[in-house]
Amino acid sequence: MNTHHKRWPVWPLLLAVPLVCAGALLAGAAGLPDWQTPLGRAVLELRLHRILTGLVVGAGLAGAGVVMQALLRNPLAEPYVLGVSSGAGLGAAMAVFFGWNVLHLWAVPAAAFVTGIVTLTVVYFLAARGGGASIYGLLLSGIIVSAVLSNLLMLIVSLAPAEGMHSILWWILGNLQLSAQPLLMTGGALVLGSLVILTVLGAQLNALTLGRETAHHLGVRTGLMIAGCLALATLLAATSVALAGLIGFVGLIVPHAARAWVGPDHRKLPAVAAVIGGLFLVICDTVARTIVAPQEIPIGVVTALVGGPFFLALLLRRRKGGWIE
C-alpha cells in the first residue's frame, strides 16, 4: 500500500508565474514587437492586459470551483452546476440584446454580475424550501435552473440581429480582451479579497467536506458558513464571467489539479488553485491567439480541448480511490 503521499511545495508554482507571463508577453503573431514604436507599445499593452485578465479570471473561476466542490462534496461541482455562470451569461446577453452595452461601459459586466447573484439566490431558496438547503437539493435545483437559463440564452441568440449575435457569441465562448481597464482593476480587487477570506475560512471548509453535521460537531456554524462561502463563490464566478464571458472547464479541472498538487487542505487550496487557474488561462489564451495566427480562436474552445483530455487523464490516474486525489 502506498503510504508515501505526494504533497508538492508551492514555490515552483509561484516561480512559474513570471516565466509564463513573460512567455505570453513575447509570443504573438507579430513576434516580439518593437518597444520603441507606438504600435509596438500598443501591442505589448494589449498583451499585458490579456495576461492580467487571464490571471484574474482564471483565479476567480478556479477559486469558485474549489469552494463549490468542497461545499457540495461533489467532484463535478463548479460554477456552471449551480447556474451561476449561465445566469451571468444570460445577463450579459440581455445587456447586449437590449443595447445597454452602448449606453454604459459597465452595463454588460454589471448585468452579468447581478443575474449571477440572482440565479444563485433563486437556486438556494428552491433548495432550502422548508429547512436548510441540502447538498442534493442544491445540485438538483442548480442543474434545473441552469438548463432553463441556457435555453433562454439560446433564445436570445436566435432572436438577436446579426451584429449583436456576433458579440453575444463572443461572450458565450469567452474572451480575455472584452474588459476595460477600470473593470479589470475592480474585478481583480474583488477576486483577491474573496480568495483571502476563503483562505482564512479554509479550516472550516475542510470540516464541511466531512458533511454538515460533522462540521457542526467540530464547532463550525454551518448555516452561516455555507451561505457565506456560496456567496463568495458566486462573487468569484460572476466577476469572472463579467470580465471575460463564459469560459468553461477552468472551474472544473483546476481544483482537481490543485488538490493533486498540495492535497485537500483548503487553507492552501484557494490560493494554489487561483495561481494554477491563472497560469492555465494565460497559457490557453496565448495558444488561442497564436496557433492559427493571424486568426484568433475563442479561448473557451482551447480550455475545453486542453481541459477535457487533462480531466480524463486525472480521473483515470486517480481512479483507485474514486475521485479522490
Partner 1 sequence: MSAAVICRNVSAGYRQQPVLHDISLTIQAGQMVALLGPNGAGKSTLLRVLTGLQPLTGGEVELFGRDLRQLRATERARLVAVVPQEVTTPMAFTVAELVALGRSVPRGRWAALAAADRQAIEQALAYTDTLELRDRYYSELSGGEKQRAIIAMALAQEPQLLLLDEPTSHLDINHRLEVLQLLERLNRERGLTVVMTSHDLNLAAEFFPQLALLNHGRITAVGAPAEVLREDVLEEAYHCKLAVRRDATGLLMILPTRTATAPTGKRVHVICGGGSGVEVLRRLCLAGWQVSCGALNQGDTDAQTAAALGIATALEKPFSPLSDGALAAASQLAQAADVIVVCEVLFGPGNVKNLDVARQAGKPILLNTRQVAARDFTSQREVPALLSALVERGATPWEQVGDLLIALEKVK
Q: Which is nearer to partner 1, 133 or 156 (CB)?
A: 133
Closest Cα to residue 146, out of 223, 76, 99? 76
Inter-residue contact 54 to 23 (CB < 8 Å) = no
**Residue 323 binds partner 1, judged by CB under 8 A:** yes
**Residue 215 binds partner 1, judged by CB under 8 A:** yes
Separation between Cα atoms, residue 130 and residue 299, nearest integer Å: 42
**Residue 319 binds partner 1, judged by CB under 8 A:** no
State which of residues 31, 182, 211, 309 lies at the interface with partner 1 (CB under 8 A): 211
State which of residues 37, 151, 181, 214 lies at the interface with partner 1 (CB under 8 A): 214
**Residue 228 binds partner 1, judged by CB under 8 A:** no
SS3 content of the chain, % helix, strand, coil (to 5): 75, 0, 25
Least distance (Å) between residue 209 CB and partner 1? 5
List, in sequence order, every beta strand (DSSP E) within 14-172.
Answer: none
The grid coordinates of residue 215 equal 462540521
Q: Which is nearer to partner 1, 81 or 215 (CB)?
A: 215
**Residue 9 binds partner 1, judged by CB under 8 A:** no
Separation between Cα atoms, residue 5 and residue 168, nearest integer Å: 46
State which of residues 59, 207, 230, 273 lies at the interface with partner 1 (CB under 8 A): 207
Q: Please give the size of the binding site for partner 1, defined by CB under 8 A.
A: 33
Least distance (Å) between residue 265 CB and partner 1? 7
Task: State the first-to-last Cα distance of the chain, in angstroms, to the nearest integer.
Answer: 15
Separation between Cα atoms, residue 173 and residue 171, nearest integer Å: 5
**Residue 12 binds partner 1, judged by CB under 8 A:** no
Residue 209: count of CB within 10 angstroms of its CB: 15
The grid coordinates of residue 139 equal 445540485
Least distance (Å) between residue 86 CB and partner 1? 24
State the amino acid at position 86 in one-letter form.
S
Q: Which is nearer to partner 1, 7 or 166 (CB)?
A: 7
State which of residues 16, 74, 98, 297 lies at the interface with partner 1 (CB under 8 A): 74
What binding mask, one character per residue, do residues 251-270 give for partner 1 by CB under 8 A, x or -? --------x---xxx-----
Residue 32: count of CB within 10 angstroms of its CB: 12
Stretch that binds partner 1, among 161-169, 172-180, 284-292, 315-323 (CB under 8 A): 315-323
**Residue 296 binds partner 1, judged by CB under 8 A:** no
State which of residues 217, 291, 312, 313 lies at the interface with partner 1 (CB under 8 A): 217
Interface positions, 172-201, toward partner 1 (CB under 8 A)? none
List, in sequence order, every beta strand (DSSP E) within 150-242.
Answer: none
State which of residues 23, 40, 75, 228 lies at the interface with partner 1 (CB under 8 A): 75
Helices 84-97, 162-173: crossing angle, 10 deg rounding: 160
Least distance (Å) between residue 8 CB and partner 1? 14
State the amino acid at position 1 in one-letter form.
M
CA 108 to chain centre: 17
**Residue 218 binds partner 1, judged by CB under 8 A:** yes
The count of C-alpha atoms lying within 13 angstroms of the C-alpha of 135, restricted to the half-sphere facing its C-beta, is 17
Q: Which is nearer to partner 1, 49 or 216 (CB)?
A: 216
Helices 84-97, 135-159: crossing angle, 10 deg rounding: 20
Q: Report DSSP state, residue 133.
A: P
Least distance (Å) between residue 221 CB and partner 1? 5
Name the residues that contact partner 1, by CB under 8 A.
1, 3-5, 70, 73-75, 203-204, 206-207, 209-211, 213-221, 259, 263-265, 321-325
